[in-house]
Structure 1
Amino acid sequence: MSCARLDHVSLGAPEPAAVIDFYDAVLGALGLVRLDELVDEEEDDAAVEAAAWGPADGRAFLWVVTAPTPTTGLHVRLRAQDSAQVELVHRLAVRHGGRSHSAPRRWTLYRRGEFGTSVLDPLANIVEVVAPE
């Protein structure tokens, strides 16, 4: 008997371009790549309507898709290799349309032994990135 496990998460965005730019920067800083993108093949120069990221040698686990109602309030936690990568994610997130939710720091009370940050994506979803200390 196998146990169920998470396959992927999709975020809906009425205007996906800014959200896609944000995740290209943030996930790219963690070594993840855009694995897929979907456009309307009947249109010339069509905008990207869906994009997906994951490890270069694996499956996409995060999708941004065009949707009339934005996904908000989701909390995604990702692991970084070290504190320098956490700080890079924070800088790039703010530079690419995100907002700081918690600056990079040691988590002495709730998450001992971790260095982390939380940022809000352009839709107000929380992206938390942590590394071991």
Structure 2
Amino acid sequence: MIDHFGINCADLAASAAFYDKVLGVLGYSRQMDVEVAIGYGAGSPDFWIGVQPAEGPASGPNREIHVGFTAADAAAVRAFFEAATALGAEVLHEPRFFPEYHPSYYGAFVRDPDGNNVEAVCHMAQPGD
């Protein structure tokens, strides 16, 4: 069900130093670093920390969270997106490939009614799906 999740940090450098150390003793390490976000895990980035935005739902004291839900395939990602937008969800990213994550990463991102960033993701999609 849960593919990955992330939190926003007021000070990314301080949080990175913290998570590098505390997750390191548990056997986890940085799997990806995309400057504004760092993914930790053991083989794949399952937990992310990111820069807290200056504006919007994630900028206040109650920061948004990010949850990536596992989708069976690209069609399921599109169905998630269609269902969410039909309910009035704000679109963050329409369904597409995200090659900056990896070549077969296909996802869609929306805001839930509380302002959280929720995503459906499939890791096996191929161009043309």
TM-score range, shorter chain: 0.3 to 0.5
Q: TM-score, normalised by structure 2?
A: 0.46
TM-score (norm 1): 0.44
